[in-house]
Structure 1
């Protein structure tokens, strides 16, 4: 009898735990809609968490916004974006997502079309400087290894065969090729569907030549954006991994990615005021970050990600 009671108690506890996840997801995610407010007039800091399967991307955006506000950036100068987690992702990182859903309740959906439109609006307003931080999964190609013949031969297949960062609030969670091609055939511009090097470069080239532009990309293969961004005047920044390497910490459990945690710590140590962001010693920060990332990866036995320094060619 005692054993039966124990088994019944355990079964009831498991049942309640199983029911709790959907209820919590509804309360902390679905009940917190994305912002639909107009982009603030003074927005020139864009913090984008694109991944939808782990909480660490969103945690990096929340931490940076807190840091930048503490250094003097006004709240209406910052636009933030995130992607609702899948139910499975919420279950794995539930405690972190519950906190983040409240902190990011005023953020926009991390969808390529939304980000592109907002960058265009900011460019027309000629801000003092531009800062873009994207943290997500990166891919060297959106084409699957077993590419269906009809997809490979499609007129817009080239849209998929390029470096890309996942923006999980977009069609197909930003990286499923069939959904992206369906949206393209329905008339959506390719630059509204894939967060690619070309799309980002074109968006940044709309800003005045004299506008300082800082871009930091935390994702696997993010170095694949370097060639396109080299043509954007006045640009400096960092990519978490070389074009043929992966970055690390993109799994359930860690509070942030390896690159993101080190970068934010170095930024906090070096940034004294918001106005100093463009004048920061970016080569020096890169050297420190490169060394600390290499040390952290070595301690985990990981293949080096080899972060990349991003810098545009001199303007004639």
Structure 2
């Protein structure tokens, strides 16, 4: 009986050890803003795997949601890509568990209003002022939770600015309702699919989403321009820090930056925030090259 028990323990330990070794050696877990799901899963991930032989494992959700899960110990990853620099600060410092020490701004994407070309409101979007169309009865609008996703917060900010610019104090209420209106607020990773399937007439999206998926879109006036600022970092407790560095190197390389541009993302000169001394040497070298 004891021999059987010991044998079972050895087998279980061997399986667990093999799993850990496999994950450490080949898996790179990338936690990223849901607006990048098409880019990451269909382009960057496969290209990274082909280039390095490592396995890309992506998890998409609202940036704040991911940060909360990291902070709460509910999710671990190697790389964190956010749609807002502010999200990183919630993971920095001793009070926040020192999950993040530094981050790099690497791309931007303006917030737009996308609509379903088969919607009965499609022609209105093409011929009328966008804020007027958003107030039409029966229009089904989709947006993300402002507490869980920067895009949701940017949506409220955009409409608040528009209300001031157009002297329409009730514009936010008439278009969005309450900040967490359950009739509109949806998980970021499902928003595009709901629009494409006809469940929504319109929604708030970044240019990378509308460009990538050929979604017709409205560009608000220049004075209302609000944009995502994508950042990336290697989490301090990354199970595969070496693989994480290789992923960051790939994304910031000429090939990675071309993939970003091909998917409608505005590539910017990388800028570092936080303790630059903590950045792996190979990553710093790629950042330096991209800054030239």
TM-score (norm. length: structure 1): 0.23
TM-score (norm. length: structure 2): 0.25
Higher strand proportion, which one? Answer: 2
